[in-house]
Structure 1
């Protein structure tokens, strides 16, 4: 990891404070362009085109050869017991680990149709809408399922649907039961921790150039991230906006005065060096989170932090620890 110092023009008016610029270039990191592209695609691919409800195709027996172009569905399929049926995955698949050696078939916007044909799938799972891919599947008589996952309710629907499509409904039921139990446990833990506390005001960033502080993508009303913050007793400072994933300015952040800033960077290895760089990047802003040093980064140990997944309860637990650290005991 090499670090240079840059003075962004949009912050020069505040004491000309130099801003640290982070260049990602070692193991565990990715080039800046790939980081931004993959982050953006993971978040918004479910919003491309019009929002269409997921429609499982007519049943023709359990799917045995599955190509998945949906990182969130990867985890679900493995959890319900369909790991060995997955014959191809998307460019962005990184979890579960057992899928990283499967053949790659591109992404939502650049599917490799020849690669898909060579894998002879009887089910394609895709997140988002791609007319070319849908026409391709229809012409070849391949069932296609659009993963609807944009929120937790959609995730529940996806689990049930994939259980039906694979003939693994009992496995899907078990996954749903476990998910609900973990979400309830996180909710109860948050209630215990926050007893008598004023809800903290939180800014959660989902994407930005990690080299400089600008073009901040955050979560607003109706998103999983907003729901997580509300569930654990926090206030999302942009929870009143209607656009699900708005890009906000530093001026807007200052006006809304977050008590805590949480940055999601799932393709970045969080080290003490990185943490100090991120804090320094935010340091020119006059807001409570910066003044108290409450700026946090959740990195590659939570690879699915940008979309609803079976690991969403883990994200909630980590946020609880950030909002209300456990008191030291004698």
Structure 2
């Protein structure tokens, strides 16, 4: 039996290795080539960390460091933290000698490549990007079948919740605030897709982009019936000029999320269905 196990393992490994050398184009339009599946990976955005760890436990163990915000699953919390978008610790990354670094900022490419590292730039922003990046990571790690299973599972979870939301009697106008600047989410972003799947209507025009900074007067003009907030300064919303006349404020239909709930809503990764559930319960409390 043990001999059969090792034969099967060798067969699976041979199939994975047959896909290499592997050349891909990243979201910066750069071509990168991997000679073999990477075994030491640094992830510099939480969605990449969560997606790789959702491929398999063994894939998760290949991650040797993450950005400072990656906190799921539990095992990554104890890994070295290499800063974030504003304060990346390139020295730490280089010292760990990874064979793949996944980043979301082109400014990290030059110093890491100069040190001889392979860098893949990813910028997931849309709902489709969740599955595109899962498949890309599956390719790079030699885990294509695992990636397809992950995609199927997440899509099934989302579909089940979307079907539940379809029973709602109303489709409220929704304003989603990421920070008090204010930055928000357009309808083409993954958050915009979740608003739509939760049977809400995003007040932000598509032409403003995926994550635009807006004039607060736009929100007053659009009169949202529900406001979603994923930052700590929710208390100041009622005091903004003109916002007292907004239906969501008048009727106290403001859903404020923090902690893990904010992570689930803000990360284009494998736990997106849990974020969708929060929105459905916010828009349609009768469906709880």
TM-score by length of 2: 0.81
Of 298, 302, 305, the residue aligned with 2:265 is: 305
Q: Distance in 1 between matches of 2:197 and 2:280?
A: 10
Distance in 2 between residues matched to 1:59 and 1:156, nearest whole Å: 21
**Does the aligned pair in 2 maintain the 1:221–1:241 contact within 8 Å?**
no
Asked if 1:220 is matched to 2:220, the reply is: no
Question: Within 2, Cα distance between the matches of 1:318 and 1:92?
Answer: 21
Deviations 1:91-138 (A, max 9, x none): 2222222211111222234332221122111110111322xx323343
Does the CA contact (< 8 Å) of 1:65 and 1:87 recur in 2?
yes
Contact 1:202–1:262 at 8 Å: present in 2 too?
Answer: yes
Instruction: Give the 3 Å change call, closer, same or farther, for CA 312–327 of structure 1 in structure 2.
Output: closer
Find the counterpart in structure 2 of residue 236 from structure 1: 202
Deviation at 1:300, TM superposition (A): 1.0
Query: 2 CA distance for matches of 1:202 and 1:178?
Result: 28
Do structure 1's residue 323 and structure 2's residue 279 form an aligned pair?
A: no
Offset of residue 327 of structure 1: 6.1
CA deviation vs aligned residue, 1:34-93 (integer Å, no higher than 9, x gap): xxxxxxxxxxxxxxxxx9456562231111001111111000111112111111111222
Offset of 1:183 from its aligned partner? 1.2
TM-score of the superposition, structure 1-length normalised?
Answer: 0.71
**Higher RCO (Cα < 8 Å, 6 or more apart):** 1
> Cα 1:327–1:243, aligned 2, differ >3 Å: closer, same or farther?
closer
Partner of 1:181: 156
Aligned-residue CA RMSD in angstroms?
Answer: 2.5
The residue aligned with 1:98 is 75
SS at match of 2:72: coil
Q: Which one has the bigger helix percentage?
A: 2
Instruction: Return the offset for 1:281.
Output: 4.9
What is residue 29 of structure 1 aligned with on the other side?
none
| Contact persistence 1:72–1:304 (CA under 8 A) | no
Which residue is 1:264 aligned to? 230
Q: Which residue of 1 aligns with 2:252?
A: 293
| TM-aligned CA distance change 1:205 to 1:73, over 3 Å | same
**Structure 2 spans left out of the alignment, 5+ residues:** 1-25
Aligned equivalents of 1:175, 1:235: Cα separation in 2: 29
Aligned mates of 1:94, 1:120 — CA distance in 2: 22
Q: Give the Cα–Cα distance (whole angstroms) in 2 for the partners of residues 242 and 288 of structure 1.
A: 23
